[in-house]
Amino acid sequence: AGAPAPKAAVERPYRRALVVSLLNPKAILFFISFFVQFVDPAYAHPVLSFLTLGAWAQLFSFTYLSVLIFSGTFLAATFRRRKRLTAGLSAGAGAAFLGFAAKLSLASAG
């Protein structure tokens, strides 16, 4: 009865995402093939050019994803507080999809 409860496994989503991102072979091959056109082969240290371009790409990716996270958190909190707005927007999205479906069915019938 006096034994301490086992600790829950601590998730580290940022570390996991960083490791997956850095070890993703498709991303690595894309950046190598994309950055080649911006690296001068006559430059004494081409690795420095690759690292600089990679750092810029990571900075822009971090900034973009941070904006998405914070704006998503703000919108989720807003929608939790304003139920009528949420219901109205959901109904509007549903009506738009029904309209697209009707337009698609009429376009393929003719």
- Record the pTM: 0.57
pLDDT at 100 over 90: yes
Query: Which whole-number Å values give the CA distances from 110 to 39, 73, 76, 101, 105, in the listed order?
Result: 53, 45, 42, 15, 9
For the chain, give every domain's residue range.
13-109
Q: What is the pLDDT of residue 3?
A: 66
pLDDT at 110 over 70: no
Read off the pLDDT band of 75 (50, 70, 90): very high
